[in-house]
Amino acid sequence: MRTRRLTAGLTVLFIAALLIFDQAQSEPVNRFQQPATIALGSGQAAGGAHCAALPD
Amino acid sequence: MSTATTPEAGTAPASSLLTRTGLVAGALVLALIVAAFVGARYGLLLLIGLGFGIVLEGFRFGFAGPWRQMITKRDPGGTLAQLLSIALVAIVAIPLLADAGGTLVGARAPVGFAMVGGAFVFGACMQIVMGCGSGTLVNAGSGNPVSLLALPFFAIGSFAGAYHLLWWTELGTLPLIAFDGTSGLVVTLGLLAASAGLLLFLAAPGTRRIPRRLWIAAALLAGLALLNLVVAGQPWGVVYGLGLWAAKGATALGADISASSFWGTPGNMERVSQSLLTDVTSLTNLGIIGGAFLVAVWRSGLGQGLPDLPKRAWVATVIAGFLLGYSSRIAFGCNVGAFFSGISTGSLHGWAWFVAAFGGAFVGVKLRPVLGLEGRR
């Protein structure tokens, strides 16, 4: 009998494949241009990559 | 947030101490790697996402299931817990947004024809597959095959909905209306209390209570949502990240998305080119899946058999998955981005979404057995 071990394993594979594909396709991360650890009080404007946000 | 398609594996033996230690250590190591190689904020957001997944799966706190309970059994417990959690976030978030000087933004969007229609369709589809925005992620993480199949189509739908978003908003949209400051908080809490009152009025005798586990989950979820807001600068969301995953896939396959009035903007083009590990909603989405997986393994819940569903149920899952993504984009969010985060950060669109999606849920509850998703009899 097939169990959720199969489907949970497929989910893990899906995520792993997504991250590998992403790392291969994306620009390298610039660790010297990172936002502040916490946005509140950082003085940096919020990004707006949210489903409620209209495009700029 | 498991669906009702299969019985719970309540008798499974607990996982070993070694397995549990390995799970927790693995999750922490992953977050540390992200913090070290991508950035401290991103490591924190992955941890917050893991927290969401652990709370949602661990306490069985859901959105689609409680709405179904209210519609079919007039049991409001789970929906009341949702309103409680939203109220707890609002009490902190609405004043915080007023004082944050632009470093924090709310989940605020305009009400419009397409927004309301999208929420209605989303409400129907989340009942068909018994999984909302967060629920699809949680259920996929805990090995639910319906959600696992729905997830990639949810992402494709989210990409397509965002692609066409401005066309839909031009059909007719009100100016953005938000409840700000102290008066906004009073209005929001008043509307939440009125909604809770209506649910209690409609409830069946003996059901007018929130189970203890959901009190705890509501408080924990509110704490995590506030952490998300403070760390990321924006509220908890789901569907932007899923659309971004598909946008990256489309670009890799040679699609030119620069013509899209949504994906072609400089901000979105930059996000498509950057790592998902620098995208707020992608990180929390990955964390939700990981957190749910962790809880499922912790409980030894993966021994549960897979449901025996007819072909039409799988076809319905693919279509409903796509529609979940598409409709949530034109509705400016799902149960998380619009309902939970919209209302808790003072957006009128969150209320419009709630009413429309609950209406759609009545349709979805009727459609689910017709489409074969209740399993073979």
Residues B83, B222 contacting (CB under 8 angstroms): no
CB neighbour list of residue B17: distance below 8 Å, 6 or more residues apart = none
B251 is a domain residue? yes
Task: Give the orientation angle of helix B280-298 with respect to helix A4-25, to 10 degrees.
Answer: 150
Average pLDDT over residues B163-175: 96
Average pLDDT over residues B276-289: 97
What pLDDT score was predicted for residue A11?
Answer: 97
- The amino acid occupying position B154 is F
pLDDT tens-place string over residues B116-132: 999 999 999 999 999 99
Q: What is d(CA B216, CA B97) in angstroms, rounded to the nearest whole number? A: 25
Q: Does residue B5 carry a pLDDT above 50?
A: no
Residue B305's SS3 state is strand
Q: Would you call A44 and B238 a contact, using CB atoms and an 8 Å cutoff?
A: no
pLDDT tens-place string over residues B80-111: 999 999 999 999 999 999 999 889 999 999 99
What pLDDT score was predicted for residue B9?
Answer: 42
Contacts with B, A 1-56, CB within 8 Å:
1-8, 10-12, 14-15, 18-19, 21-23, 25-27, 29, 31, 34-56
CB neighbour list of residue B209: distance below 8 Å, 6 or more residues apart = B77
CB neighbour list of residue B205: distance below 8 Å, 6 or more residues apart = none
- What's the pLDDT band for B8 if we cut at 50, 70, 90? very low
- What's the pLDDT band for B14 if we cut at 50, 70, 90? low
pLDDT tens-place string over residues B293-344: 999 999 998 999 999 999 999 999 999 999 999 999 999 999 999 999 999 9
Residues B356/A53/B164/B154 CA torsion (nearest 10 deg): -70
- The amino acid occupying position B349 is H
A43, with CB counted inside 10 A (0-12, 13-18, 19+), is exposed
B325 is a domain residue? yes
Q: Which residues of A1-23 are buried (b: 16+ CB within 10 A; e: fewer)?
A: eebbeebbeebbeebeebeeebe
Q: Does residue B7 carry a pLDDT above 50?
A: no
Q: Does residue B1 carry a pLDDT above 60?
A: no
Q: What is d(CA B11, CA B15) in angstroms, rounded to the nearest whole number? A: 12
What pLDDT score was predicted for residue B102?
Answer: 86
Quick one: what percent of chain B has pLDDT higher than 90? 93
| Closest CA of chain A from B186, distance in Å | 22
CB atoms within 10 A of CB B376: 9
What pLDDT score was predicted for residue B152?
Answer: 97
Out of A15, A37, A50, name the one closest to residue B41 (CB): A37
Domain count, chain B: 1
B348 is a domain residue? yes
Q: What is the residue range of B139's domain?
A: 64-269+309-370
Q: Does residue B376 carry a pLDDT above 90?
A: no
B140 is a domain residue? yes
Nearest CA in chain A to B276: A22
Taking chain A (56 residues) in runs of 10, the rounded mean pLDDT of each run is: 93 97 93 90 84 86
Nearest CA in chain A to B288: A15
Partners of residue A3 on adjacent β-strands = B305
- Among candidate residues B154, B116, B160, B110, the one with its CA nearest the CA of residue B134: B154
- Among candidate residues B236, B307, B309, the one with its CA nearest the CA of residue B63: B236
- What's the pLDDT band for B15 if we cut at 50, 70, 90? confident
Cβ contacts of A52 on chain B, cutoff 8 Å? 106-109, 235, 237, 332-333, 337-338, 341-342, 347, 349
Nearest CA in chain A to B339: A52
B286 is a domain residue? no
Q: Does residue B185 carry a pLDDT above 80?
A: yes
Nearest CA in chain A to B262: A55
